[in-house]
Structures are given as C-alpha cells and as structure tokens.
Amino acid sequence: MTNAAVALPPIDAPLEARVALVHDFMVERGGAERVLLELSTAFPGAMVHTAMFDPAGTYSKLSGLRVNTLVPDRFPFLTKEHRRSLPLAVRAFRQAEIEADILIANSSGLSHLAGCTGRRVVYCQTPARWLHRSEEYLRRVPEAGARLFASGLQRWLLKADVEAVRSADAFIVNSRHMANVVESVYGITSEVVRPPSSLRVDGPTRPVPGIDPGFFLTPSRLLSYKRFDVLCETAEALPESRFVVIGDGPMRKSVLRIAPSNVNFLGSVPEETLRWAYDACRAVVLTCADDFGLVPREAAAFGKLAVVPSAGGYLEQSRDGLAT
C-alpha cells in the first residue's frame, strides 16, 4: 500500500462543513479548557459558544478565538463564582440553537444541552457532577446551588440532560472509566478518545520568588471533591517538605484555614509558571481520583513522578509509577 497525497478543498469551498464549538464556562484554567484549545487548533476559525467568558481567568490563548457568550455573561458579578449561575446557564444552553453543520460540545455537564441546525457531537469530559453527583459536588458550595437541588428542578434537569445525551449524533468520552460511567448514568455506549494537553514542555518559564526547587506539586482547582483535606494531612505529616498548590476555586478560603505552613497556594498562574513548577518539583501529588486527568501525563512529559489514587481514569494511564 502506498501513501498518496489528499487534495483538500480550499477554505472557502462550499462543501466545507461549518463547525461550531461549545464549552460550558471559559472562566478557569483546567483540563477541559486545554481540550478546548486543542479543538480550536483542529478547527481553526470555528466559533466558540459558551455561557461565560473571563479572559483574565482562563488561558490567554483562548482570547484569540471567536467567542459568542450566552445570557449568564451579562452578569459580570457572577464571573468569579460562576457556579451560582447554573440555573441560568442551563436555560441558556437549552434555548440555544446554533447554526452549524457540525456542533462539537466539549461538555462537563452543560454545553451538550445546546441545539444545532446540523449534527451534534458530544465530547464528554464528565457527566454533570452538580446533577448526578450533587452531594459530592455541592458540598459547601454557595447556597444558590443547594437551593437548586432542594427544589423540584432537579427532576426536570435530569430529564433534559438525558434527552440531550441520547439525541446526540455521536457521543465520545475521554477514558474507558468514563465510558463505564456514561453507560451507568445514561444507558448508552460511547467511543473513547483520550484528550491531549496543550501545555508545551519546551516553552518559556517563570520561577516563583521564594520557592526553591524540590517541592511536591499539586495542580488542581480548589473544589470540594478534590480532597484537599487529605493533601493538608499529608503535608502536616511531612513538615520538612514543601507543597505547592496551583489552581483556584470556591474552596480556597476553607482550604487555607486547614492548610499547614508548609503548603503554598499560588492560585491561577500563567503557563510559564506552571511549566517552571513541573520542571522544578520533586513529584506531583494528587489526592482525588479523576475521570481522566491530564496532570499525570503532563508530569510524565517533564520526567516527573505523579503520586495519584489508584482509581478512576488514572488506572488507564499509569501503573507502578510508570505513565502508559
């Protein structure tokens, strides 16, 4: 069999499909946002539709995309606590009818609700934690979220969620673990496509003054299910070691209250600082099982060991300290 060049139509060819991307919230620096960066590279020029966009809160490269925001973005006071806008965001996505030949929803529980004039492809990073694992997700989050699930809305939201999933033309997940979760939650089979990371190893670095190399690194959003209580207990048991946490979230104040003095919280940082942290750390430590988890792969790219729970999507990409 020989390799043959394939002639692709020019960009303005009438047969080219119009692709649109949909993402829950563009307000954080997380794994789902890295996947969005890769999707935008694969489909340059595609419009990205999202409930809310905060250029300062997410990766700077996302500012170069064509972005259309929905109703929740009209309330800037919600940007720093976007989870308060869940009821509004659900309604906005449900009412959206996006004109495109192919819509790709990079969904962690919301964007797959959007309609499309063409075909809908859902890339599911996780079913809605706030809906299917509400006790885990909403523990100690703003009261607005708790009231949502104390009301009769939850049954309606579950119905809308299942309908949106089952009506998709294609449903893709990020791991075999997630495929099992989706089958359990929705009763459907799905294709597995493992996501890449947009973090480049060979880019510029920016050290953090006052922090010497050799620390344990935890890149993670500060959410209740991330089990930062376990990390703090570990740090307390190892007082001679330094732990550095990169990421932010609604649990910041409560985590800071229980953290020992050998834990440094850097909040959200630019890629230059994250790259330096991976390179300068002794090892990466995560205390919560994840549905897939890009962090162990990023750590491996920098030649660093990742200490992770033996559960979830981590089992598919690491064993006995070896990334697979």
Give the pairing type, strands 216-219 and 243-246.
parallel
Q: Are residues 41 and 173 in the same domain?
A: yes
Domain identity same for 134 and 46: yes
Separation CA 45–CA 100 (nearest Å): 13
Could you tell me the residue range of the domain that residue 56 belongs to? Answer: 19-192
Is residue 149 included in any domain, yes or no?
A: yes
Instruction: Check pLDDT > 70 for residue 282.
Output: yes
**CA-based nearest residue to 241, from 211, 219, 269, 273:** 211
Kindly state the tokens that stand for 143.
């009261």
Q: How far apart are CA 133 and CA 247, in angstroms?
A: 22
**Would 203 be classed as within a structural domain?**
no
pLDDT-based confidence at residue 168 (cuts at 50, 70, 90): very high
Q: What does the pLDDT read at residue 226?
A: 83
Global pTM value: 0.78
Answer yes or no: do 159 and 230 share one domain.
Answer: no
DSSP 8-class letter at 133: S
Q: What angle do CA 105, 111, 117 make, to 5 degrees?
A: 65
Do 172 and 225 have their domain in common?
A: no
Does 157 lie in the same domain as 91? Answer: yes
Q: And the tokens for 42? A: 């694969």
Q: 265 and 222: one domain? A: yes
pLDDT tens digits, 127-159:
887 777 665 555 544 455 545 554 556 778 888
Give how far Cα 140 sits from Cα of 84, 150, 302, Å: 13, 14, 35
Q: What is the pLDDT of residue 3?
A: 36
95 plus 160 within the same structural domain: yes
In a domain, 309, yes or no: no
Distances from the Cα of 290 to the Cα of 19, 140, 145, 190, 266, angstroms: 29, 20, 22, 18, 22
Q: Let me know if residue 157 belongs to a domain.
A: yes
114 and 227 fall within a common domain: no
- Averaged over 312-321, what is the pLDDT? 62
**CATH, residue 40:** 3.40.50
Band of pLDDT at residue 239, cut at 50, 70 and 90: very high
* pLDDT(13) > 50: no
- Whether residue 146 lies inside any domain: the answer is yes
312 located within any domain: no
Residues 39 and 170 occupy one common structural domain: yes
Both 110 and 245 in one domain: the answer is: no
Q: Does any domain span residue 94?
A: yes
Q: What is the pLDDT of residues 177-201, one digit of tens each?
A: 899 999 999 999 999 998 877 788 8
Residues 80 and 225 in one domain: no
Domain count, the chain: 2
- Domain end call among 160, 192, 224: 192
Residue 251 · residue 312 · CB < 8 Å: no
Candidates 32, 31, 29, 82; CA nearest to 52 is 82
Q: What's the pLDDT tens digit per position in 289-301?
A: 776 678 888 888 9
Question: Looking at residue 276, which CATH number applies to its domain?
Answer: 3.40.50.2000
Check whether residue 60 and residue 187 sit in a common domain.
yes
The pair of three-digit structure tokens given for residue 202, joined into one six-digit string: 């060979």
* 152 inside domain: yes
Highest mean pLDDT among 6-20, 263-277, 279-293: 263-277
Over range 210-230, report the average pLDDT.
90
* DSSP per-residue codes, 63-115: GGS-EEE-GGGG-GGGGGGGGGGHHHHHHHHHH-EE--SEEEEEESSSGGG-E
* C-alpha angle 296-250-244 in degrees, rounded to nearest 5: 40
End-to-end CA distance of the chain: 30
